[in-house]
Amino acid sequence: MAEVVFKDVAKRYGDVSVIEGLNLDIRDHEFMVLVGPSGCGKSTALRMIAGLEEISGGTVSIGDRVVNEVAPKDRDIAMVFQSYALYPHMTIRENLEFGLKIRKTPKAEMDRLVNEAAEMLGITQLLDRKPKQLSGGQRQRVAVGRAITRKPAVFLFDEPLSNLDAKLRVQMRAEISKLQNRLKTTTVYVTHDQVEAMTMGHRIAIMKDGKLQQVGTPLEVYEQPSNLFVAAFIGTPPMNFVKATIADGGATLKGPAFSLPVAQSYRALTAGKDGKALVVGIRAENLSDGSRPVRGESARIPVTVEIAEPLGHEVLVYARASGDDLIVAKVDPHHAPAIDQKLELVVELEALHLFDAATERRLTA
């Protein structure tokens, strides 16, 4: 077991900088998810832990050892890739044994480790088959099994579920979480899927353009996104954003289509900042048609409904407030409004997110 620490880490390919000033502490036993859009540097960061990419600046440590110059095989890590990378001509058992044989593990110990991993993953009955006789989910389980038998200090996963269909992905993500919870092995898991990040990570690190944006528990980044990018990236449907200017000594958020009073608990953020341009974030669940109880202070926005998407447990209502962008609200399924219907959306004012329009950072007092 070990912690993994990035200190001022940079990665450059010639003149191209792909990671800059990365500082991140992954705690012993922690399940850390690196998440962000394609090309943001997640795999590069993971591969630097594994020793598959040279580190251009700063240090990466595993346990209390700086590993910049340590060969991959001596780093005590096991990595699972999106492509399962099983040997097609070997049986599943031989695939699981492969790494152990290279390490000259005694036969009895090897059998024990392989059987234990197979049992944990429910693939014991598949041990004599070849990879092509397995389904995608079963193959991915074997790839995970191969990582487990190594008993590494750190597990590294790079989008291991991307090749699976949606249902299997949900099942496998629960299995991997359960497994990590049981083994307690420090884990770094890369995905571009924010739902996977939210459901699996003890903490999640959100990256954009090679720079870390925020690190926190799923609830922290959901409730307190530190900038507009994180606010837009985390959560479905994506957070609504409306432009507004602070007015009335910090008591009002004045927008082109509507104005909102500032909740008492937010006054410290807006006081004395009249004229400041903001982007106000409103999550769909903090907007309703008034048919469910409202939490805390609220206000009403008159809108016209454009689309209603029934999802069974809720309806997503896309509505427009006089010419401005579409706003999406979550509405009780038994109160789905009609298209072109005019209604007043109730906004929970204490759940608003205020961002500085110039810096895109969350407003602080």
Ligand X SMILES: Nc1ncnc2c1ncn2[C@@H]1O[C@H](COP(=O)(O)OP(=O)(O)OP(=O)(O)O)[C@@H](O)[C@H]1O
Applying CB under 6 A, the residues found at the interface with ligand X are 13, 16, 18, 36, 38-44, 192
Buried b (16+ CB within 10 A) or exposed e, 24-46: bebeebbbbbbbbeeebbbbbbb
Give the nearer residue to ligand X in terms of CB position, either 192 or 273: 192
| Position of minimal CB gap to Mg ion | 43
Which one of Mg ion, ligand X, none interacts with residue 38, CB within 5 to 8 A by kind?
A: ligand X
Angstrom distance (rounded) from CA 275 to CA 226: 22
Q: How are strands ordered across the β-sheet holding 277-282?
A: 259-261, 252-254, 240-247, 277-282, 353-356
Closest distance of CB 44 from ligand X, Å: 3
Tokens for 364, please give them. Answer: 């602080």
Closest distance of CB 213 from ligand X, Å: 13
Angstrom distance (rounded) from CA 362 to CA 287: 20
Which one of Mg ion, ligand X, none interacts with residue 82, CB within 5 to 8 A by kind?
A: none
Q: How far is CA 237 from CA 44, 192, 302, in A?
A: 29, 16, 21
By CB under 5 A, tell whether 82 contacts Mg ion. no
Closest distance of CB 246 from Mg ion, Å: 40
Give the nearer residue to Mg ion in terms of CB position, either 43 or 288: 43
Residues numbered 24-63 forming contacts with Mg ion, rule: CB under 5 A: 43
Closest distance of CB 21 from Mg ion, Å: 20
What are 6's strand-pairing partners? 24, 60
Give the nearer residue to ligand X in terms of CB position, either 39 or 310: 39
Question: Would you put residue 178 in left (φ > 0), alpha (ψ -120 to 50) or beta?
Answer: alpha
Give the nearer residue to ligand X in terms of CB position, either 16 or 311: 16
Give the nearer residue to ligand X in terms of CB position, either 117 or 206: 206
Cis geometry, peptide bond prior to residue 237 (ω within 30 degrees of 0): yes
Which one of Mg ion, ligand X, none interacts with residue 77, CB within 5 to 8 A by kind?
A: none
Residues near Mg ion, by CB under 5 A: 43
